[in-house]
Each structure stands twice: as structure tokens, then as C-alpha cells.
């Protein structure tokens, strides 16, 4: 009744090679996608430099880059919902709400259609479609923003080293920041480039770095901003402060990797415990379709499945708290 074929009569000598072949196929597809992604990354090195090549003046390129990121022409958050605006800016994606909501609507329609096909009931299907439509873009932006934030944090020590070397060579701070924008790829290249442009057009270095920290949403970038503010107010050797800042950031990143390695067993257990019920259910259905097919439309069974999914969600949240450590 689930609509899946009955393979109870097939031999394991046929099923196992088929599963291995399917796994190999998906591995090849994933490898090709990774290669294409790497090629795209190599082609698009710095988004800000692309805007500067596209427009005649630097000021026009800066304004258009801000608007494409979800900011207003002055570089401030422009949307009424500031949390959503922060997600858009920190994701680094071009602000395309119609495309996002269209993809989310398509995902909701697919999820609702799958529910109607396997279980039935238009009201739960409509609820699932509405939930996917409403939450889908937020989850997507949060995922992309988190991935970009990690990339930016990994690039930050190298960027600060470039700034230090430029300062030691006798260049002013604005020139050192602009050098990072020219030499390093995204995401940090564009962020430092926007900071350099703002300094060139009248912002103080402290305000420009603070705005970069707000766009990035990373504590290490905020530490860099605090270092610049401290040097401006109290004086001192900015290069020495940035070197100490770089050492601190690298030590924090090393500690994060150690914590991630220590919690790897817990993450693997969470993945196994989450996927095992679905794999067992699929195996039972493939070998004995009538086991679930004969009772799936019983309201008691449907409520039972709903309760199981709720408990599974609660368990996943508990495991997530156990394996994620804030540093």
C-alpha cells in the first residue's frame, strides 16, 4: 500500500550487489559535484572585484554590492525583520526572495505529495507543505550562513598576518586592509574589501571594522574589531596586538577541532540512532509489505507514528545538546 515494489522473493545475492552499485553511483555523482563546485570556486574568487569590474566607479560598485547582499545603499540592515536580514547578509548569497520562496514552495509540494501517496490525508499534507514553505528558506539561509562563517573564521588568521606584514612594511592600516581584499578569496576577501571601501569614503577604521563584524557574525571577527578599537583609544603597536590576536584565534580553532574530535563518537551514535528506525522500517516493508501496509490507515497507528516522530525529535535535540559545545 506504500506504493513500493514487493521484493520479498528476491535473493540477497541480487539485493546486496544492487545496493552496492547504487552506492557507487551516488559516490560518483557526489565526486562530480564536488569537482564542479571547486571549479566554480576557482572561477569566482572575489565577488567584490567582479562588481568593481562591472561598474564604472568604485562608489557605484559598493552600493550595488551592498544591495545585492540585502543592505541599503549606506550599508545598514534594510529589512524590518533584522534577524532574517542578518541571515541574508551572513549567507553571502545574492538577495533573491522570489527564487527562495519558489524553491521552498516546490519542496513543500513534494513533501505533501509524498505524504499523500504513502499515508494519505490532505489536512496533514497541507500542514507539512505550509511548514516546509515557511521554514525552508530560513533553514537554508542558516545552513549557508553557518558554513560561510566557518570559512571566514578559518581565513581570518592568514588575513591578519597579511595586515601585520603590510604594517611592518610601512603601509597605513587602510592600505593593509585593502591588500587583504586583493590577495584573499571570498568570503574574507569581499568583507575586507567592503571595509576598505568604507574607509576610503569617510568611515573611520573602527566603525568600518565594527560593521564588518556585524556582517560576519563571528566572534573571532568581533575580537579583531575589539583589538582595533583598543588600539585607537589607548595607542600602542597595532601589529603586535594583531599578532597576539592571531595566536589567540589559532588556539581557539585548535581547541574547537579537539572538541570536535572528542565528540565524534557521540555524533556518529546520534546519526546511527536517528537513521536506524527508518532503515529497519524500510527493510521490513521490502521483505514483508503487508506488515505495515495492512494497518497504515488505522488512526491509532497514525497517531502512534506521530508520537514516535515527536519523541525522536526530542531525543535528537537532547543528543544535539550533548555533542555541541559552545566555545
From the first residue on, what is the mean pLDDT of each consecutive set of 10 residues in the chain (327 residues)?
Answer: 48 49 55 52 56 70 79 80 87 83 84 76 81 85 90 93 92 89 88 89 88 90 89 86 91 87 83 86 83 78 77 84 73
Domain ranges of the chain: 94-262, 264-327
Q: Are 34 and 26 contacting, i.e. CB atoms less than 8 angstroms apart?
A: no
Alpha carbon distance 282, 278 (integer Å): 6
The pLDDT of residue 201: 83
The three grid cell numbers given for residue 261, joined into one nine-digit string: 574530535
Overall pTM > 0.85 = no
Tell me, rounded to whole angstroms, the distance of Cα 178 from its chain centroid: 26
Nearest by Cα to 242 from 225, 221, 227: 227
Looking at residue 69, the DSSP 8-state letter turns out to be T
For 111, residues 6+ apart whose C-beta sits below 8 A from its C-beta are: 128, 129, 132
For 257, residues 6+ apart whose C-beta sits below 8 A from its C-beta are: none
The pLDDT of residue 162: 94
The pLDDT of residue 165: 92
The pLDDT of residue 34: 58
For 180, residues 6+ apart whose C-beta sits below 8 A from its C-beta are: 159, 162, 163, 188, 189, 192
Amino acid at each position: 500500500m506504500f506504493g513500493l515494489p514487493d521484493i520479498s522473493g528476491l535473493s540477497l545475492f541480487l539485493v546486496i550487489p544492487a545496493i552496492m552499485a547504487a552506492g557507487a553511483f551516488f559516490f560518483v555523482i557526489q565526486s562530480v559535484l564536488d569537482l564542479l563546485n571547486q571549479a566554480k570556486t576557482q572561477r569566482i574568487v572575489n565577488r567584490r572585484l567582479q562588481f568593481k569590474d562591472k561598474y564604472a566607479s568604485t562608489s557605484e560598485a559598493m552600493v550595488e554590492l551592498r544591495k545585492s547582499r540585502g543592505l541599503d545603499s549606506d550599508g545598514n540592515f534594510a529589512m524590518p525583520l533584522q534577524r532574517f536580514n542578518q541571515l541574508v547578509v551572513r549567507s553571502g548569497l545574492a538577495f533573491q526572495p522570489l527564487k527562495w520562496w519558489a524553491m521552498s514552495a516546490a519542496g513543500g509540494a513534494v513533501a505533501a505529495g509524498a505524504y499523500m501517496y504513502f499515508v494519505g490525508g490532505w489536512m496533514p499534507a497541507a500542514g507539512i507543505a505550509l511548514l516546509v514553505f515557511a521554514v525552508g528558506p530560513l533553514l537554508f539561509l542558516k545552513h549557508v550562513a553557518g558554513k560561510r562563517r566557518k570559512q571566514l573564521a578559518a581565513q581570518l588568521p592568514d588575513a591578519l598576518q597579511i595586515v601585520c606584514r603590510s604594517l611592518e612594511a610601512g603601509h597605513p592600516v587602510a592600505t593593509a586592509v585593502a591588500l587583504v581584499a586583493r590577495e584573499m578569496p571570498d568570503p574574507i576577501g569581499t568583507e575586507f574589501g567592503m571595509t576598505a571601501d568604507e574607509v576610503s569614503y569617510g568611515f573611520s577604521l573602527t566603525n568600518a571594522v565594527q560593521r564588518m563584524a556585524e556582517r560576519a557574525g563571528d566572534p573571532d571577527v568581533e575580537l579583531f574589531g575589539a583589538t582595533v578599537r583598543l588600539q585607537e583609544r589607548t595607542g600602542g603597536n597595532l601589529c603586535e596586538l594583531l599578532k597576539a590576536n592571531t595566536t589567540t584565534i589559532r588556539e581557539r580553532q585548535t581547541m574547537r577541532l579537539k572538541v570536535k574530535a572528542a565528540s565524534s563518537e557521540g555524533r556518529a551514535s546520534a546519526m546511527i540512532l536517528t537513521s536506524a528506525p527508518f532503515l529497519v522500517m524500510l527493510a521490513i516493508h521490502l521483505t514483508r509489505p503487508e506488515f505495515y501496509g495492512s494497518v497504515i490507515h488505522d488512526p491509532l497507528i497514525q497517531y502512534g507514528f506521530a508520537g514516535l516522530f515527536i519523541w525522536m525529535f526530542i531525543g535528537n535535540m537532547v543528543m544535539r545538546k550533548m555533542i555541541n559545545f559552545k566555545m
